Every structure is written in C-alpha cells, then in structure tokens.
Amino acid sequence: MKDDSAFYYFNEVVSNSKDSLQIAMAYNGMATIQSGAGDYFGSQENLLTSLSYLNEQKADDRYCISSDYNELGSTSLNLKNYDAAIDYYDRALKFAENDDYKLTFLNNKALAYQKIKAFAQAIAIYDSILSKNKKDEKAFARVLSNRARARWLQDSTYQAAPELNEALQIRIKQDDYWGQNASYAHLSDYYANSHPDSALMYADKMYTIARHLNSPDDEIEALQKLILLGPSQTIRQYYKRYQYLSDSVQTARNTAKNQFALIRYDAEKNKIENLKLQKENADKKVQIIQQRLMIYGAAAAMILGVFLVVIWNRKRKQQMASRIRDHKLKTSQKVHDVVANGLYRIMTEIEHHPIEKESLLDKIEDMYERSRDISYEQPEITSTDFQAEIAWLLKAFNTDNTRVVTAGNDKGLWEKVGTNIQKEVKHILQELMINMKKHSGASYVGIRFKQSGNQVEIQYTDNGAGLPPAYSFGNGLTNTENRIKNINGEITFTNVNKGLKIQISFPIANMK
C-alpha cells in the first residue's frame, strides 16, 4: 500500500507540475517502485521518459540523470541484458558528482561483469574501490565479499573463506541484515561442494535472515539451496514453502503491475473529464455560431446543387482510377511480403541458425507456390498454433549479435484474434524485424504483447540507431502502416534516448 500511495503521488506530480526536473524525478521515483515490484519493462519506460525531461548541460539535472542511468543498468541486469547494463552504468558514472554514488555505480558495474564471467574486469574494479570504502564499513564489507566471490568464481582453488567471513563479521557488528543475507548466500555457495554441512548451515541462516527481512525473493533463493543441500526428510517441507512463495511472488507482481497501470489510468481519466467540462462550455458558444452558419449554409447548398452532376461524374472517374491504383498497390504489397521478406527471412535463418536441406527446400517450395498465386487473390492460410508461429518468426532474428526478448506471446491472447488479423500481425512483425536487421544495428530487441480491454497492444523497443531526422518510409514500412489501418489499428514510432520504440494497438475482432 505504501508503494501504491507513493506511485499515486508521483503520478500527480507528473500530471500537474510545470517543473521539468520535478517531473523527471517523479518518473524516476515511479520507475524505482516498478522495478522493486518486478515490472522491469514498465520501469525502463518511465526511466527513459524521465531522461527526456532532463538537460545534460544543466548542473541541477545531473544527479537525476545519473540516477536514471543507474536504475536502467539495474533493470537491464534483472532482465539479463548484461552488456546494456554495463553501458548504462558507464553513463551513470559520467554524470555522477558524488564520490559515494560513484563507488556504488562501480560496484554495480563489477557485478554485471561478473554475470558475463568477465572476472578479471570485475576484480579490477573491486580492487580499485576497496580501499576507498574503508570509512564506510558497510560499503567496505559489500565490496570485500563481492571481490572474494569473484576471485573464487574465477579460480575454484582460491581460498575465499577468510575474506567472506571478515565481511560477514563487519555486517553482524553493523546490524546490516541485508548484508548478512548476501554473506550467507556467498558462503553457502562457496562451501556447497567442499563442505556440504557448512553450506547447509549458511543456507539455513540465510533463510532465517530472509524471513526476518520479509524478502520473498531472498527466501526463495535460500529455499533452493536448502532443497539441494538438506536431508531427504526436510526437502518436502522446503519444496512446499518454495512452491507457495513462487506463486505468491508472481501473483503479487502481476497485481502490482495492474495497480500501477490503474493509477495512471484513473489520473488520465480525471484529466479527460476536466477537459470534457471545458469542451461543453465551449460547445455552447459554438452552437450560437452554428445557427448563424446554418443560414449561410442553406444558401451555399443551393449553389452547390448546380455542380452535383459534374462532381458525381468526376468522382466516378476518380474511383475507377483508385481501384486500379489499389490493385497495383495490393499486388506490390504481396510481392514484397511473399518474395522479398520471405527470401530475407530464409537468408537470416541460413546465416544464424542450422537448417537441414529438406527443411530449406520445403520453405523455398512453399514460397514459390505462394508467389505463383499472387495474382489470383487466394487467401493466405495461417497456422492453427499462431503463438508458435510468432515465436518461430521472432526466433529467426535472434542471433549472436542481436538478442530478441519477448513477453506475453500466449496462446490465450491469439485465440481471441481472428485469422485475418493474425495474418496482418504476422506480416507487420516480420517487416519490423527485417527493418531492424537491415538498418538499426540493434543488439537488443524487446517485444511485449498484452491485452488491454478490447485492444491488443504490441510494444517494440530496440537499442539501435533509431529513425534519422526527416526519415522517409520505404515500401516496407508504408505497407506496415496500411496493414495497421486495415485492422483499424494505430502505430506510433518514437526515437528514445538510445534506440527506437514502436507502439502498436488494434481491436480484437472475431473475423475467423
């Protein structure tokens, strides 16, 4: 409830303040709350919005800028996008003016290096900041324990126990329960193979501290260790508690995400209602003007009547020309989708994924048959498992250089969507991914699907080059916009601080 209230008041600042720095800090506060609740994508969206209100040249803005980048690093770390996390921590360091914050950001950066097994880089950072933390015993213990763990992970023969225990004793002396929780986790991992009894003891202590801190995530981690290390007679009770907590945490996070969205929705709704009242007052004035215009309109209608026959004839000719143009456009669109995009996707699969000869021949034969039917207006057959078809489509673009992460691609969502709309969605996603592959140079792509009321929403984000100024859409993106219009949807392209964000929405229609 405290987080809900804080989120509500931060959103009130966003809606009503005229101070750009105040708005940016409110977005930062909302993002921090969302990250703590596990809504990492929502957190990233608000952090990028916060940065859009800040000016790197203003000294007063630099603290919030560094905080935004540090939080972006943490959310990327939680999403396992470690290269992006390192880049964001570097940006946070660039704008950090407080030495304590710099040490924290460096510790976070070292942890990201540790996650990608770049232990030498992580240890070098820990060595550089260890002595600088001696005045702050909590910070010193954190770096000491992290460094010892990194050295042990780099070299399994390294004797990390003395440093791990030294850090633990400092944390016990300081009543640093969060620090003790981390120390017990490190010690349990360290002794897991060499002294299982000691590892079990530290896992049990971690479990006790996690429950004291009321930290479900840490309690789940401790339970995982206890299940692996504990005697057979205790495993069942640990597993039951683990299963209960896992379900509860997921439910709580889903509830929190919905609550955050509801708070923002209610705020927008109140704003709209106020605007509606203002409009009603303005409409009364408009009615008087309209009455006068009706008199002038009647006279104008008499004059226009003379030209109706001429206009009808001209319109008829224009309709015929429009039909011819639409037919050409439709044929061009099919050629682009079936031949150009089909070839490009097969090329991408061959380049980055192993593919058998027979499977390749089947794909080429299918594309050949579909290309022969372009002019006959034959309906395109969609897969009965559209969720799997979308997963397969996006997987083709997941390469060593580009990580593609999806969320919400569930069967339950697509079962509500008609096959005609599924066909358009498939071509839209294919066009976006091909455009990303050809032009953006992105190393990370995130695609989130969700239902909002009677709408399906698709959010695409990448960390590529974005759209250049005065960018002119080619045939592919023009076709994409036309497809969105065909299903009564909307699409927006937005350059963010680093990369591109595309928001797509369309109504669910049972057009099967």
When comparing pLDDT for 20 and 346, which is higher?
A: 20
Domain ranges across the chain? 2-266, 309-507
State whether the Cα torsion 267-268-269-275 is positive or negative: positive
- Is residue 508 within 8 Å of 451, Cβ to Cβ? yes
In this predicted structure, the answer to whether residue 317 has a pLDDT above a threshold of 60 is yes
Residues 6+ apart with CB under 8 A from 426: 382, 386, 389, 390, 393
Q: What is the pLDDT of residue 312?
A: 59
How far is 119 from 133, CA to CA, in rounded Å?
21
Q: What is the pLDDT of residue 163?
A: 94
pTM score over 0.95: no
The mean pLDDT of 176-193, rounded to a whole number, is 93
When comparing pLDDT for 497 and 95, which is higher?
A: 95
Token pair of 244 as six digits:
């209960």
When comparing pLDDT for 392 and 282, which is higher?
A: 392
Q: What is the pLDDT of residue 119?
A: 94
* DSSP character at residue 383: P
Q: What is the pLDDT of residue 176?
A: 93
Model confidence pLDDT, tens digit, residues 254-264: 665 655 555 55
Most confident of 31-45, 275-289, 337-351: 31-45
The mean pLDDT of 275-285, rounded to a whole number, is 58
14-28, 236-250, 296-310, 438-452: the lowest-pLDDT one: 296-310
**Fold (topology level) of 2-266:** 1.25.40
What are the strands of the beta sheet with 499-507, ordered from one edge? 403-407, 444-452, 455-462, 499-507, 490-496
35 pLDDT band, cuts 50/70/90, is confident
142-151, 224-233, 457-466, 468-477: the lowest-pLDDT one: 468-477
Q: What is the pLDDT of residue 132?
A: 81
Mean predicted lDDT score pLDDT of the chain: 81
* Percent of the chain topping pLDDT 90: 38
The burial class, CB within 10 Å (0-12 / 13-18 / 19+), for 296 is exposed
* Host H or E run for residue 446: strand 444-452
How far is 93 from 70, CA to CA, in rounded Å?
8
Architecture of domain 309-507 in this structure? 2-Layer Sandwich (3.30)
Q: What is the pLDDT of residue 1?
A: 46
* Host H or E run for residue 502: strand 499-507
In this predicted structure, the answer to whether residue 98 has a pLDDT above a threshold of 90 is no
Model confidence pLDDT, tens digit, residues 38-54: 788 888 999 999 999 99
In this predicted structure, the answer to whether residue 505 has a pLDDT above a threshold of 90 is yes
In this predicted structure, the answer to whether residue 133 has a pLDDT above a threshold of 50 is yes
